Amino acid sequence: MLRYLTAGESHGHSLTSIVEGLPSGIPLTEEYINIQLARRQSGYGRGGRMQIEKDTARITAGVRGGLTTGGPVCLVVENRDWANWSETMSPGTDANTADRVVTKARPGHADLAGAIKYNHQDIRNVLERASARETAARVAAGTTGRALVEQFGIKITGHVVKIGKASASVEKLGVEEIRELSSGSELLCADPAAEELMIQEIDRTRKEGDSLGGVFEIIVTGLPVGLGSYAHYDRKLDGRLAQAMMSIQAIKGVEIGIGFRAGELPGSQVHDELFYDRVRGFYRNTNRAGGLEGGVTNGEPLVLRAVMKPIPTLYKPLQSVDLQTKDSYQAAVERSDVCAVPAAAVVGEAVVAFEIARAMAEKFGGDSLAEMKRNYDSYIEYVKRV
């Protein structure tokens, strides 16, 4: 089974990811992971922290000579600001826990519910872990899954389709065009005219001391038919992908294919009709299902969308309450992102990559990449003969 764990606090020493179950022989380097970490940090609308963070991953186990060994892969992303936080965040009894105490709960964060749940007087114990800084560890781990699936020609593209009220129009673009156009964009947006409007929305919102959310889309191409299963709830790939996406901080909804629009259209405009041709085999002329039927990949591109709520920490204060005094106060901040939808899209790519890698490892097994490829090739041969 392919799985991962992350550990680390926002101002702790480092973030650690341990990935277990990767077959041996997958090409994996720090440079390859760092490309994705850098993408997570970019994007118009980010706050001051991005200048401090210049994330790089160190591979400390499980890779030798540029190839996975089959052992657990350990990835460490150091927090650059550790020098300024080592006294406050020290795990030892020497920690200055009276320093930088947080008692004011921020609306829209895990602060209040987390402090009550874990019996903390200092909300710092909650926010340090609940922070989206943790997504750096998830991008590092997810990128190992990406390295695996790329060996099978699977490509994962994330792009921003909406920020505030500005929407990209991408219906007429192919996935290659989307990939090319969005990769050259500051907002990871494939529609340059919409990107202009998005930038204007972000600038206006920043001036107003407010924040913005949006929607991003993940497209996965090159998938074989038959990943996931209809046979049991926790093997359904749609459910697993939705869980992975919803677990990203600030994600409030996930759609597959035409998603929520399916609720307003008649069935004849929702379901993809099936055809057969001697050369092409089975095919569909539409992909409204977004590549999944019954929790199983159907060979069409996987298309997922996720909505991110506006960043909850605002320059414009929101009403809140102090955990200890119970006094009300105005929650304001000196440094925060105004909009982090492009970064969330990169995190989305990573978590989807890992789920696809997991489904591939389940379907094709194998302790080495060579063994997995043999199993894959023989299955693809069988599919061609159906």
Which residues contact ligand FMN (rule: CB under 6 A)?
A: 47, 108-110, 130-132, 135, 248-250, 309, 311-313, 336-337, 340, 343-344, 347
| Cβ at position 349, least distance to ligand FMN in Å | 12
Smaller CB separation from ligand FMN, 52 or 274: 52
Smaller CB separation from ligand FMN, 242 or 250: 250
| Cβ at position 263, least distance to ligand FMN in Å | 24
Task: Match 């039927």 to its residue by tokens.
Answer: 293
Smaller CB separation from ligand FMN, 28 or 244: 244
Q: Residue 88's CB: how many other CB atoms inside 10 A?
A: 17
Smaller CB separation from ligand FMN, 133 or 288: 133
| Cβ at position 49, least distance to ligand FMN in Å | 7
Smaller CB separation from ligand FMN, 148 or 351: 351
Smaller CB separation from ligand FMN, 89 or 346: 346
Backbone angles phi, psi at 137, to 5 degrees: -65, -35
| Cβ at position 169, least distance to ligand FMN in Å | 25
Token digits for 148?
């695996």
Distances (CA, A) of 168 to 50, 109, 159, 236, 352: 26, 29, 10, 30, 22
Smaller CB separation from ligand FMN, 147 or 311: 311
Select from 242, 263, 351, 239 the least CA-distant residue to 306: 242
Provide, for the chain, the percentages of residues in helix, strand and coil under a 3-state DSSP scheme, each rounded to the nearest 5.
Answer: 40, 20, 40
DSSP string, 319-368: EEEBTTT--EEEE--SS--S--HHHHHHHHHHHHHHHHHHHHHHHH--SB
| Cβ at position 342, least distance to ligand FMN in Å | 9
Q: What angle do CA 236, 75, 96 make, to 5 degrees?
A: 110
| Cβ at position 251, least distance to ligand FMN in Å | 6
Residue 59 and residue 68: Cα distance in Å, rounded?
11
b or e along 187-221 (b: 16 or more beta carbons within 10 Å of the residue's beta carbon)?
Answer: bbbbbeebbebbbebbeebbeeeebbbbbbbbbbb
Q: Which residue is nearest to ligand FMN (CB)?
A: 313
| Cβ at position 67, least distance to ligand FMN in Å | 31
